[in-house]
Amino acid sequence: MFTGIIETLGKVKDIVKEDTNIHLYIESQISNELKIDQSVAHNGVCLTVVGIEENLHQVTAIDETLQKTNLQDLKIGDVMNIERCTQANGRFDGHIVQGHVDQVATCINKQDQDGSFVFTFQYDPKLQNITVEKGSITVNGISLTVVNSKIDQFSVAIIPYTIEHTNLKNVEVGTKVNLEFDIIGKYVSKIMALRG
């Protein structure tokens, strides 16, 4: 489990295809602290560390993951948000994040508001995922608060610190991001649907 508080940034140093899978080689400040078989969120996607080499770690994304996330669009040199799983005795600063991306959204607006930014993302409503005003949403692994919630889109207001310390600084109109909707909201939505 994760909290959506990004620990560090990682840079994609190599991408190796093997059948329908890809192996990602990521350079980060914490790569040499990781362990084989450890779960680490990359842009909000929980991936297992399968190799470590000095300041690089290796993870593998299978076809199912690639089809449902923005990992399929990665290029060498891209920057990823990295978070290790939360410790049981640690502070819980964000919200409950599983590292299971629900769907991809597209940035449709980015407004500079004198140092802070408001991003608007649009997603396919057919999967029946929902946001609520002032509720939690995970964008590329970042725990954020929803503003201007609509059926197929929402906005988030981003402080300068978050811009500087995450890959949101590279998000422009047209950029695809990973979304994980709030787990509590997903359960409530499912229960309501079953009650019909």
The pLDDT tens digits of the residues spanning 58-113 come to 999 999 999 999 999 999 999 999 999 987 777 767 788 899 999 999 999 999 98
Asked if the model's pLDDT at residue 6 lies above 90, the reply is yes
Mean pLDDT of all residues belonging to the chain: 93
Give the pLDDT of residue 18: 94
The single residue listed with the structure tokens 């991003």 is 119
Give the pLDDT of residue 33: 95
Decide: residue 80, CB within 10 A, 0-12 exposed, 13-18 middle, 19+ buried: buried
In order, the DSSP letters of 18-44 are ETTEEEEEEEETTGGG--TT-EEEETT
DSSP 8-state code for residue 4? S
Q: What Cα–Cα distance (Å) separates residue 8 from each residue in 62, 105, 121, 132, 140?
A: 24, 23, 23, 28, 13
What confidence tens digit (pLDDT) does each residue in 169-192 have? 999 999 999 999 998 878 888 788
Alpha-carbon gap, residue 181 to 138, rounded angstroms: 6
Instruction: Give the pair of three-digit tokens for residue 38.
Output: 């450890």
pTM of the predicted model as reported, rounded to 2 decimal places: 0.93
At residue 194 the predicted structure's pLDDT band, cuts being 50, 70 and 90, is confident
Alpha-carbon gap, residue 46 to 181, rounded angstroms: 15
Mean pLDDT, residues 17-46 taken together = 97
Give the pLDDT of residue 51: 97
Give the pLDDT of residue 110: 97
Mean pLDDT, residues 32-57 taken together = 96
Closest of 43, 42, 38, 45 to residue 65, by C-alpha: 45
Q: ∠ at Cα 134 (119, 73), nearest 5°?
A: 35
At residue 39 the predicted structure's pLDDT band, cuts being 50, 70 and 90, is very high
Give the pLDDT of residue 66: 96
